[in-house]
Amino acid sequence: MDYPADLSFLFTSPTKVVFGAGASADVGLELAALGCAKALVVTDGFLQKTEIVAKIVASLGRACAGIFSDVPPDSGVHTVNAGAELGRARGADSIVSIGGGSVMDTSKGIAILLTEGGTLLDHQGFQLLTRRQTPHICIPTTAGTGSEVTYFAVIKDHERKRKLSFGDYHIIPDVAILDPILTVDLPPVLTAATGLDAFSHGYEALTSALREPISDALGLHAIRLIRRFLPTAVKSGADIAARGQMLIAATLAGAAFSNSQVGLLHAIAHVVGARHGVHHGLANAIAMPHVIRYNNDVVADRHRLVAEAMGVDVRGVSDEAAGRKAAEAVSAFVAEVGLPSSFRETGVPQDDLGACAEMTLSDGAIVQNPKPVTDAADVLGVLKAAWSGKPA
Amino acid sequence: MGIPFFSDEWIAAYKTAINSNAAYKTAAADWIYGVVALICKAQPPAFPGDVGIWLDLDRGVCREAKAVSTDEAMKAPFCITAEYARWKQVLRKELEPIKGMMQGKLRLKGDLPTIVRAVQAAQELVNSAAKLDTKFIDE
């Protein structure tokens, strides 16, 4: 694992992380520490009916300015605008988001509007904001997206049928409260899929064209934790220790890819998600072994690290062979946690793979893939392998 | 001697350089997304205020290049803003623009995925500028 002499990078991860079983009860204290007094609670309709939100709202007490619970799984501009409207009406000076990636990304959008005004489309861009946005505390209820520490938000513009990407250091949440108790009821299949999403963040941060040593360390340890604790979290959802380590892994991997970016794997997952509704984490899980094989001639030394982090014995073998072992180990791991191994099983029609390949080529994530991807035929090769579940 | 950075003369030379760059013409053949504006933040005394450049780009051709106010530049569908030192790094090919955007060294108003899809064209725009004999204001 050598770094070039002209290595140059920028790493930032300013979020305060508060971890522990029951840590979400500290939300009121954390809000006060931020100097805030009225928080808009943002969540989804399902969670709002649970004890999770009720307890957090109780902890906030009078500091809860209102609850916005209209966040759908695929949140959009209208949702953000509506949330901001409620926040303004209630005089909110901060946001507490409780949920998965969609809730946290929606909250990042609301944070922009509460500070900058206007509608979300007025602020479309990358690193465009010039000042601190509305203080934001994230309380994730899944262990996958890492959005609690990332500078990204993806929000759909349903009218124009496109996804808006926001990337800005000023929308990185101020506080992430990782409370494993909040994830114990997550069903096994979602636990597995979100866990593999976090794994894919670690993998792509480690291999991205923008890879650097700090993200490497975070990504590698995330993979180690996921290898060790995801199977337990899937089989024994109430295991607080495993749930906690998975939350930490997701946060580590989030910080890693927020700095080093992602690549071809995420570009594929975005497309099969958009065209065929395949869960993002599941899509990453299925395509990852095949992307590893595709990238292997360029970043085999990195794949050796992945293999080692997964406990594979790669002593005495070449980097290329170690990379192939890493791909095999990921496939076996995906099966071990009970996820399907092919897009065929998820209902992606074989005759749409060509269109998926073309669309993947124009996804923004592909730019930082370690092996430049400019030919749709290359993507199609990966997709065909992922569809059948067998190496090309 | 060199052409002063971001001067009218530099802008005119930049337009010529873009239009004589065959690689840009090929890479940007599909660019139909409109004007790309550039803003250099104030750098006194040479630039007491922010300065803007308007590049009307269409299918591999720069139809117009002119100096504009920052207000006007911000009306373009894509506007990239940076400090003088960052632009200097870009022109010297010490800072790759997409990486610079990811890291907040350049700020983009507009749709990032559209820009990243045109990564080759963006690189050729930089190559076109790098070919100019630029006189930097701090040298």
Supply A37's token pair.
Answer: 């007094």
Pairing of strands A39-42, A94-99: parallel
Task: Give the tens place of pLDDT for each residue, A176-234.
Answer: 999 999 999 999 999 999 999 999 999 999 999 999 999 999 999 999 999 999 999 99
Same domain flag for A176 and A198:
no
Domain end marker among A183, A207, A232: A183
Residue A392 sits at the chain B interface (C-beta within 8 Å): no
Does residue A330 lie within any of the structural domains? Answer: yes
Q: What's the CATH code of the domain at A324? A: 1.20.1090.10
Question: Across chain B, what does the average pLDDT equal?
Answer: 93
Chain A CA closest to residue B98: A367
Same domain flag for A117 and A174:
yes
Helix (H, G, I), strand (E, B) or coil at B47: strand
Same domain flag for A177 and A211:
no
Domains of chain B as residue ranges with CATH? 3-129 (3.30.1050.10)
**Rounded CA gap, A378 and A284, in Å?**
17
- Burial of B120: CB neighbours in 10 Å, binned 0-12, 13-18, 19+: middle
Instruction: Write down the pTM of the prediction.
Output: 0.93
Q: For residue A369, what pLDDT is reported? A: 96
Domain end marker among A137, A165, A183: A183
- Give A 276-315 residues with CB within 8 A of chain B: none
Is the pLDDT at B119 greater than 90, yes or no? Answer: no
Is the pLDDT at B1 greater than 80, yes or no? Answer: no
Residue A367 sits at the chain B interface (C-beta within 8 Å): yes
Number of domains in chain A: 2
Domain that holds residue A174: 16-183
Q: For residue A217, what pLDDT is reported? A: 98
Same domain flag for A156 and A193:
no
Q: What's the CATH code of the domain at A137? A: 3.40.50.1970
Closest by CA position to B83, among listed B59, B105, B111, B114 = B105
Chain B CA closest to residue A361: B117
Chain A CA closest to residue B114: A364
Task: Give the tens place of pLDDT for each residue, B58-95.
Answer: 999 999 999 999 999 999 999 999 999 999 999 999 99
Does residue A288 lie within any of the structural domains? Answer: yes
Task: Give the tens place of pLDDT for each residue, A328-371.
Answer: 999 999 999 999 999 999 999 999 999 999 999 888 889 899 99
Q: For residue A162, what pLDDT is reported? A: 74
- Enumerate the residues of chain A whose CB falls inside 8 A of the CB of residue B109: 124-125, 128
DSSP E strand stretches across A14-85: 16-19, 39-42, 64-68
Same domain flag for A23 and A134:
yes
Same domain flag for A27 and A96:
yes
Same domain flag for A197 and A343:
yes
Same domain flag for A153 and A283:
no
Q: CB distance A367–B103 less than 8 Å? A: no
Same domain flag for A143 and A211:
no
Q: What is the ipTM of this complex?
A: 0.82
Chain B CA closest to residue A262: B102
Does residue A104 lie within any of the structural domains? Answer: yes
Interface test with chain A among B74, B112, B114, by most A beta carbons within 10 Å: B112
Helix (H, G, I), strand (E, B) or coil at A370: coil
Residue A128 sits at the chain B interface (C-beta within 8 Å): yes
